[in-house]
Amino acid sequence: MTRDYLTESLTTYWFAPPVALWRAIELRVAAAEQYARPLLDLGCGDGLIAQVLFGTDACVDVGLDPWADQLHQAARCGAYRHVDLADGHRLPYVGGTFATVFSNSVLEHIPEVEPVVREVGRVLRPGGRFIFTVPSDAFRHLLDGYIRPMEAGNMEEAEWYAAAVDVWLEHHHYHTPEEWGGLLAAAGMEMVKARYYIPEGVERLWDRMNNRYGVGQPRTAWGLLVSPRLRPLGYQALLRRAVVRCLSRRWRLYYEADVPPGEKGGGLLVVARRTNDQ
Ligand SMILES: C[S@@+](CC[C@H](N)C(=O)[O-])C[C@H]1O[C@@H](n2cnc3c(N)ncnc32)[C@H](O)[C@@H]1O
User: Tell me: the pLDDT tens digits for 181-204?
Assistant: 999 999 999 999 999 999 999 999
Distance of CA 241 to the CA centre of its chain: 25
Burial grade of 276 (CB within 10 A; 0-12, 13-18, 19 or more): exposed
What's the 44 CA to ligand 1 centre distance in angstroms?
A: 6
CA atoms of 22 and 266, how far apart (whole Å):
10
Per residue in 7-27, pLDDT (tens digit) is 999 999 999 999 999 999 999
Give residues (CB < 6 A) around ligand 1: 42-45, 48-49, 65-67, 70, 87-89, 104-106, 109-110
pTM: 0.96
